[in-house]
Amino acid sequence: MPLICRRPAPTRAGLLPVTIALGLMCVTPSDVAAQSRRIEPAEVRCPSVLGVGVETDRTYCDVLIGAEVTDGVIVVIPPHRGDATVTFVLHARHTFSGDEVARGRGYARYLVTTAVATAEEVLARPIVLAEFRSAADLTDRVGGGAGPGGVKAVAPLGGEAILITVPDGVTEISIVGLELQVQRVDGDQSFTSLGRPIAVVSDVEVEYQAR
């Protein structure tokens, strides 16, 4: 593998010792590429913001069932050389009821299926499986509601770390809901109606090598 070499820079007011200044500092192209990769919060275009977590200060974005990429959570990818990587946390979406928990009817099991796609292809089909038994199972509570402490009844539940490889030339991807299966004490349900919120995403980051 070829090397990229340069002379060390002088230090302070004087030069480096002669034996060092005459040498070269060499790295491989792969080392240079690794050093130039950036990791940063992604620009997210959220069609429905659930809110900000009171414990984590994370912004939670609803994932809606959709038929087109334009129906989803849009993640903008900066101009990049080679593949980029998008990471996020996918949560189930639970409506908390203290009364149901007190009556022993609070249990819920969620299986959420989503798709991550570009305008041309589906890159992945992430899923999250989460169970609720008590308030301790909630990932966070979301501010801005009418509940005790000013929190909303809807809250993120569980959390699956998702990693998506984004090809060179792709400038945005979409996270779209496909199906929600719910198991409760009184029976099972499946939801596929367009526009229904079925999951929540948070902590969206992008890693890429800038052009």
Per-residue pLDDT, 35? 58
Query: 76 and 93 share a domain?
Result: yes
pLDDT of the residue at 149 = 84
* Bridging pattern class, strands 154-166 and 84-95: antiparallel
pLDDT at 140: 97
Strand partners, 126: none
Q: Any residues with CB less than 8 A from the CB of 204 and at least 6 apart, and which? A: 41, 42, 44, 75, 86, 87, 88
Along the 211 residues of the chain, how does pLDDT read in single tens digits? Answer: 554 445 455 544 444 444 333 344 455 555 545 558 999 999 999 999 999 999 999 999 999 999 999 999 999 999 999 999 999 999 999 999 999 999 999 999 999 999 999 999 999 999 999 999 999 999 999 999 887 889 999 999 999 999 999 999 999 999 999 999 999 999 999 999 999 999 999 999 999 999 8
DSSP-assigned beta bridge partners for residue 91? 200
Together in a domain, 204 and 174: yes
Residues contacting 36, CB < 8 A, separation 6+: 209, 210
The verdict on 169 and 200 lying in the same domain is: yes
| Residue that has been written with the tokens 């230090």 in this structure | 11
- Residue 186 structure tokens: 């009184």
Residues 31 and 66 in one domain: no
Based on the domain organization, do 30 and 65 belong to the same domain?
no
Pair (17, 114) in one structural domain: no
> Residue 81 half-sphere exposure, CB side, CA atoms within 13 Å?
8
Q: Say yes or no: 105 and 15 in one domain.
A: no
- Please answer whether residues 92 and 108 qualify as being in contact, where contact means their C-beta atoms are separated by less than 8 angstroms: no
Task: Return the closest-CA partner of residue 38 out of 211, 163, 208.
Answer: 208
Q: Which of 86, 62, 109 shows the shortest CA–CA distance to 171?
A: 86
Number of domains in the chain: 2
Pair (32, 71) in one structural domain: no
d(CA 112, CA 156): 13
Domain limits for position 32: 1-37
**122 and 32, same structural domain?**
no
pLDDT for the residue 4 = 42
33 and 46 fall within a common domain: no
φ, ψ of residue 200 to 5 degrees: the values are: -140, 140
In this structure, are 155 and 116 located in the same domain? Answer: yes
Q: Record the pTM.
A: 0.82
Specify the pLDDT at position 38: 94
Assess whether 69 and 154 both reside in one domain: yes
